[in-house]
Structure 1
Amino acid sequence: LSYFLFGDNDFTARLPHALFSIATIAFAWTFRRHLGRTGALVTAVLFMISPYLLYYGRYARNEALVGLFGLLMLWSILRYIETGLPKYIYFLAASIVLHITAKETAYIYVAQALLFLAGYFIYRISKRPWGKPKFRSPFLLAVILGLVLLGAAGFLSRLTKDGPGTGLFGLTISPGVVEVLGIVVPVLALAAVLILLTAVVLLFYGFSIHNLRKERSFDLLIVTGTLFLPLLTAFPLKFLNWTVPTSASGVNGLVLTDMIKMGSVLILMFVIAIVVGYWWKGVVWVKSFVLFYSIFAVFYTTVFTNGAGLFTGLLGGLGYWLVQQGENRGSQPWYYYSLIQMPIYEYLPLLGSLLAGILASLGFRAGGRIISGPNNGDITAAPEGGELTEPDQIPVIEEPERPPVLPLFGFWSVSALLAYTIAGEKMPWLTYHITLPMIPLAGWAIGALIDTIDWRKFFRSNGLVVLALIVVFFLSLGGSLSSMLGNNPPFQGKNLEQLSATSTFLIAFIAAVISGGSLLYLISRWKVGQIARMATLTFFGLLAVLTVRTSITANFINYDNANELLVYAHAGPGIKNALSQIEEISQRTNNGLGVVVAYDDQKTYQYWW
Structure 2
Amino acid sequence: MNHTRPRRIIFATSAPSAAGSSSGDVRAAGTFTEHRLEQTLSEQSPRVRVTVEAVIYVVLGALAILTRFWDLSTRALHHDESLHAYFSWLYAVGQGYVHDPLMHGPTLFHADALAFLLFGDNDYVSRIWPALLGVILVLLPALLRGPNQLGRWGALACSVFLLLSPSMLYYTRYIRHDPFVLVTTLTIVIACLRYMEKPERRWVITVGIMAGLLFATMEVSFIVAFILVTFVLGVVTWQVSRAAFGVVAGAGGGLAAVWLLMPRFGAPPLPSIPWEHPTGDNIRAFAVDLVVHPTFLAAIGVLVLGIVATLSTLERARNAEESGWLAGVLGNQPPGSTGAALLTLLTNRRTLWLAIGLGLTAFVALYTSMFTNMAGLASGTVGALGYWLGQHDVQRAEQPWFYYLVLMAQYEFVAVLLFPIAIGLTIRRIVPAVLFRRPVDSRTYLRGFALYWAFMNLAIYSWAGEKMPWLTVHTVLPLAILAASVVGSAAENVERAVSERQLPTRFIWIPAAGILLLAAGWFALWSWASAGPWVRQGSGALIREMRPIIVDHPWILYLPILAVVALIVWSGARMGPRLAASVLGIAAVGMLLVAQTHVGFRMSYQEGDTPKDMLIYVQTSPDVTRVMSDIGT
TM-score normalised by the chain length of structure 2: 0.66
Higher-Rg structure is 2
The residue aligned with 1:351 is 417
**Contact 1:97/1:295 (<8 A) preserved:** yes
The residue aligned with 1:151 is 256
2:305 to 195, 206, 229: 195
The residue aligned with 2:373 is 306
The residue aligned with 2:493 is 452
Instruction: Report the AA paired with residue 586 of structure 2.
Output: L
**Contact 2:263/2:269 (<8 A) preserved:** no
Q: Deviations along 1:194-238, whole A, 9 cap, x unmatched? A: 3212223314422332333546746887999xxxxxxxxxxxxxx
Cα distance in structure 2, aligned partners of 1:532 and 1:213: 42
**Contact 1:406/1:441 (<8 A) preserved:** yes
1:96 aligned to 2:211?
Answer: yes
* Deviation for aligned residue 1:11: 0.9
* Deviation for aligned residue 1:560: 0.6
Instruction: Report the AA paired with residue 297 of structure 1.
Output: V
1:321 aligned to 2:321?
Answer: no
* Deviation for aligned residue 1:31: 0.7
The residue aligned with 2:328 is 211
1:21 aligned to 2:127?
Answer: no
Q: Deviations along 1:454-486, whole A, 9 cap, x unmatched? A: 34655455443333333355566789999999x
* Deviation for aligned residue 1:36: 0.3
- For residues 484 and 412 of structure 1, do their structure 2 counterparts lie closer, same or farther at Cα, with a shift above 3 Å needed? farther
Cα distance in structure 2, aligned partners of 1:544 and 1:183: 52
* Deviation for aligned residue 1:183: 7.6
The residue aligned with 2:247 is 142
Instruction: Report the AA paired with residue 613 of structure 2.
Output: E
1:464 to 509, 523, 548: 509
Cα distance in structure 2, aligned partners of 1:529 and 1:48: 28
The residue aligned with 1:254 is none
Aligned residues with identical type, % of pairs: 24
1:68 aligned to 2:183?
Answer: yes
SS of the aligned residue for 1:566 comes to: helix
Q: Structure 1 stretch 203-212 or stretch 441-450: which is displaced more?
A: 203-212
Q: CA RMSD in A?
A: 3.7
1:413 to 454, 462, 487: 454
* Deviation for aligned residue 1:72: 0.7
SS of the aligned residue for 1:293 comes to: helix
Cα distance in structure 1, aligned partners of 2:553 and 2:385: 57
Structure 2, unaligned runs of 5 or more? 1-113, 271-291, 319-324, 432-438, 534-543
Q: Deviations along 1:209-268, whole A, 9 cap, x unmatched? A: 2333546746887999xxxxxxxxxxxxxxxxxxxxxxxxxxxxxxxxxxxxxxxxxxxx
**Contact 1:484/1:505 (<8 A) preserved:** no
Q: Deviations along 1:553-594, whole A, 9 cap, x unmatched? A: 11111111111111145411122323333455xxxxxxxxxx
Instruction: Report the AA paired with residue 562 of structure 1.
Output: P
Aligned length: 462
Cα distance in structure 2, aligned partners of 1:161 and 1:223: 45
Cα distance in structure 2, aligned partners of 1:439 and 1:219: 28
1:360 aligned to 2:473?
Answer: no
TM-score normalised by the chain length of structure 1: 0.68
Instruction: Report the AA paired with residue 211 of structure 1.
Output: G
Instruction: Report the AA paired with residue 464 of structure 1.
Output: W
Cα distance in structure 1, aligned partners of 2:367 and 2:489: 43
Cα distance in structure 2, aligned partners of 1:548 and 1:500: 32
SS of the aligned residue for 2:420 comes to: helix
Cα distance in structure 2, aligned partners of 1:496 and 1:107: 54
**Contact 2:199/2:344 (<8 A) preserved:** no
The residue aligned with 2:558 is 509
The residue aligned with 2:616 is 567
Q: Deviations along 1:350-382, whole A, 9 cap, x unmatched? A: 2223222333345599xxxxxxxxxxxxxxxxx
2:598 to 527, 549, 558: 549
**Contact 1:352/1:443 (<8 A) preserved:** no
Q: For 1:33-48, what aligned pairs fall within 5 Å after superposition? A: 33=146, 34-48=149-163
* Deviation for aligned residue 1:291: 1.0
**Contact 1:466/1:522 (<8 A) preserved:** yes
* Deviation for aligned residue 1:400: 11
Cα distance in structure 1, aligned partners of 2:514 and 2:452: 37
* Deviation for aligned residue 1:414: 0.8
Cα distance in structure 2, aligned partners of 1:68 and 1:523: 41
**Contact 1:353/1:445 (<8 A) preserved:** no
Q: For 1:40-59, what aligned pairs fall within 5 Å after superposition? A: 40-59=155-174
Instruction: Report the AA paired with residue 69 of structure 1.
Output: T
Instruction: Report the AA paired with residue 132 of structure 2.
Output: L
Cα distance in structure 1, aligned partners of 2:143 and 2:307: 38
- For residues 300 and 496 of structure 1, do their structure 2 counterparts lie closer, same or farther at Cα, with a shift above 3 Å needed? closer
- For residues 57 and 515 of structure 1, do their structure 2 counterparts lie closer, same or farther at Cα, with a shift above 3 Å needed? closer
- For residues 567 and 510 of structure 1, do their structure 2 counterparts lie closer, same or farther at Cα, with a shift above 3 Å needed? closer
Cα distance in structure 1, aligned partners of 2:308 and 2:553: 69
Cα distance in structure 1, aligned partners of 2:590 and 2:267: 45
Cα distance in structure 2, aligned partners of 1:525 and 1:291: 58
SS of the aligned residue for 2:575 comes to: coil
**Contact 1:77/1:88 (<8 A) preserved:** yes
Instruction: Report the AA paired with residue 126 of structure 2.
Output: A
Q: Structure 1 stretch 143-152 or stretch 28-37: which is displaced more?
A: 143-152
Cα distance in structure 1, aligned partners of 2:529 and 2:263: 44
Cα distance in structure 2, aligned partners of 1:351 and 1:437: 14
The residue aligned with 2:230 is 115
Cα distance in structure 2, aligned partners of 1:15 and 1:407: 35
- For residues 326 and 481 of structure 1, do their structure 2 counterparts lie closer, same or farther at Cα, with a shift above 3 Å needed? same
The residue aligned with 2:120 is 7
* Deviation for aligned residue 1:314: 3.0
1:435 aligned to 2:548?
Answer: no
Q: Deviations along 1:284-307, whole A, 9 cap, x unmatched? A: 332122112111121112222222
Cα distance in structure 1, aligned partners of 2:462 and 2:509: 44
- For residues 346 and 185 of structure 1, do their structure 2 counterparts lie closer, same or farther at Cα, with a shift above 3 Å needed? same
The residue aligned with 1:185 is 295
Cα distance in structure 2, aligned partners of 1:31 and 1:541: 22
Q: Deviations along 1:107-143, whole A, 9 cap, x unmatched? A: 110011111111111221136xxxxxxxxx4x44433
Q: For 1:324-339, what aligned pairs fall within 5 Å after superposition? A: 324-338=391-405
**Contact 1:69/1:96 (<8 A) preserved:** yes
Instruction: Report the AA paired with residue 360 of structure 1.
Output: T
**Contact 1:157/1:185 (<8 A) preserved:** yes
SS of the aligned residue for 1:102 comes to: coil
**Contact 2:521/2:560 (<8 A) preserved:** yes
- For residues 448 and 219 of structure 1, do their structure 2 counterparts lie closer, same or farther at Cα, with a shift above 3 Å needed? closer
Q: For 1:482-561, what aligned pairs fall within 5 Å after superposition? A: 497=546, 499-502=548-551, 505-514=554-563, 516-517=565-566, 520-521=569-570, 524-561=573-610
Cα distance in structure 2, aligned partners of 1:86 and 1:360: 31
* Deviation for aligned residue 1:496: 7.0
